[in-house]
A and B are shown apart, each in its own frame.
Chain A
C-alpha cells in the first residue's frame, strides 16, 4: 500500500532558524509526493510537489523539499523560519492504485515558530 509517515507530531523552532519537517514514504514504483499546509480554521493549501526531475523542489512561501530515494524521505525545509509559518503541515503521496487523482495524507506535523 502507498503511505507516508510523519514521525513528529510537533516541531518547535525559533524565528530566523532553519526548519525541517520530516516525512518518509512507502510506495511501489515511482513516488509522487506533496506537501500541504493548513492554517488555523482554514482548509489545506498546496505547497509543492515532486514527480520527477531535480531532487530539490521549491514551493510557495520560501519552502522547499528534498527527495531522497535511498532514505525514502521527502523532508520539508526552510532556511529561515517566520512566526507566520506556524501551522499544520501534511505530507502526501499519490495513490497509484486508484483510478486517478487520489492522494493519501500523512497524520500531520504541527510547526510552532516562537518569536
Chain B
C-alpha cells in the first residue's frame, strides 16, 4: 500500500501566484481531509469530503482557498492568489467511513510564499 500521496513536497512561490496542491488518498478510502499546520495555529482542518462530496468547508480561511475532489482517487487544494501568511505545511489525510477517526496522513506539502 503506497499510503496517501501528496505533491509537490515543497513549493516556493511569490505572493500573488496561484498554488495547487495535490492529493491521492489510499485506495478504497472514501473520506478525505485537508489540514494546515503552522507553529502559531497548530493543526487546522480546512475541509473534508465524503464520497467525493464536500461535507464541511468551515475551516477554509477565505475565498482565496478552494478544494475539489473530481473522483475517488484525486483531490486538489488551490490558493489564488497566494499570500505570505499562507506559508504552512498542508496535509491531506484519508479514512474509511466505517473507521472515520483513524485517519492516514500524507507526508505533507511545505508551502513558502515570499
- Chain A residues within CB distance 8 Å of chain B: 32, 34, 41-46, 49, 90, 92, 94, 98-108
Contact = CB atoms under 8 A, between A and B. Distances in A.
12 contacts: A32-B101, A41-B108, A42-B107, A44-B91, A49-B102, A98-B55, A100-B97, A101-B48, A101-B97, A102-B45, A105-B43, A108-B42
A101 B50 contact: yes
Interface string B83-95: 0000000010101
A51 to B, nearest CB: 8
A99 B56 contact: yes
Interface string B26-54: 00000101000000001101001010000
Contacts of A100: 31, 50, 55, 97, 100
B14 to A, nearest CB: 24
Interface residues of B, number: 23
Contact of A43 (B45, B93, B101): B93
Most B CB atoms within 10 A — which of A44, A45, A98, A107?
A44
B109 to A, nearest CB: 11
A94 B99 CA distance: 12
A9 to B, nearest CB: 11
A98 B56 contact: yes
Given A43-B91, A101-B48, A101-B95, A34 B55 contact: no
Contacts of A41: 107-108
A105 B36 CA distance: 12
Given A43-B106, A100-B50, 13 more contacts: A34-B101, A42-B108, A43-B4, A44-B91, A46-B101, A94-B101, A101-B50, A101-B100, A102-B45, A103-B103, A105-B43, A107-B42, A108-B43
